[in-house]
Amino acid sequence: MGKLPAFQFYPGDWIQDTATLSLSARGAWIDLLCALWRSPIRGQLTLSIIEYGRLLRTTPLRARAVLDELIHRQICTSVTEGNGDVTVINRRMEREERERKSTRLRVKRFRNAESNGIGNGDVTVPSSSSKDSSSSSKLKAPPGAARLPPQTTDTAWMESLKANSTYQGLDVDLEWGKARMWCETNRRMCSRRFFVNWLNKAERPINGTTRPLAKWEQSLMRVRAADAERQAQDD
């Protein structure tokens, strides 16, 4: 586990939660919070009563009394192991650590999708309470396109666009290169949704030939890309 230098402290919650504690229990709790933060399993700490006494710089008997007071006042929860060791759990710290790991995973998945060039996968960790975690990330296929599995590869997806009669006469590979160049220049992610919107606004070449774009056409391409990006965000 990476060592974070500090944890968030909530003065209002501290005053409210420790208002009924004795002075010794209040001082012991801040020491325990620091130990819970540095624990290998953040938010959980398992020690013997003798070790808790050493941590709190007091006798094992006094450490036991402090733990009992904290548990009785519902400041923390505890589990007594079979060997007599006591596991102290701070619910907020445990919850925030789960959220931190979830955020780290979402960012990692987003960066992986961005580095692949194509892909607009759902970067949110699926929730166990959702009925269908993949339904929110499905994209609407263009009219006439073959229905593909949700996890189709980028190559198969591109081939389905080329085979789609909606884009007949368009050089899909050429348009993909234009879209990629625009996204790289403007630091945008060239997702599948973005590229479909790009294709929907693309103009077919006359007589099937291509020529260098004039300045007004380049300006039109930038406007079209901005429209495609805005449409992707609206979708």
Among residues 37, 69, 93, the one where a domain terminates is 93
In a domain, 172, yes or no: yes
Neighbours of 56 (CB within 10 A): 20
| Residue of 111, 123, 195, 130 whose CA lies nearest to 157 | 195
**Cα first-last separation, the chain:** 38
pLDDT tens, position by position, for the chain (235 residues)?
556 788 888 899 889 989 999 999 999 999 999 999 888 888 899 999 999 999 999 999 999 999 999 999 888 888 888 788 999 999 888 888 888 888 888 888 888 877 765 554 444 544 544 444 444 444 455 555 545 455 578 888 888 888 888 887 788 888 888 888 888 887 788 888 888 888 888 876 655 555 556 666 666 677 777 777 776 676 6
Domain count, the chain: 2
Residue 128 lies in a domain: no
Domain boundary among 93, 123, 145: 93
Q: CA 119, CA 150: separation in Å to the nearest integer?
A: 11
Residues 217 and 162 occupy one common structural domain: yes
pTM of the model: 0.46
User: What DSSP string describes the chain?
Assistant: ----S-----HHHHHHHTTTS-HHHHHHHHHHHHHHHHSSSTTEEEE-HHHHHHHHTS-HHHHHHHHHHHHHTTSSEEEE-TTS-EEEE-HHHHHHHHHHHHHHHHHHHHHHHHHTSS-----SPPPTT-S-TTGGGPPPPPTTPPP--TT--HHHHHHHHHH-GGGTT--HHHHHHHHHHHHHHTT----HHHHHHHHHHPPPPGGG---PPPHHHHHHHHHHHHHHHHHHHH-
- Which range marks the domain in which residue 17 is found? 11-93
| 219 touches 182 (CB < 8 A) | no
Which of 93, 118, 146 finishes a domain?
93
Query: d(Cα 166, Cα 4) in Å, to the nearest integer?
Result: 53
Residue-level pLDDT at 162: 84
Residue 141 sits in the same domain as residue 62: no
Tokens of 110: 């987003």
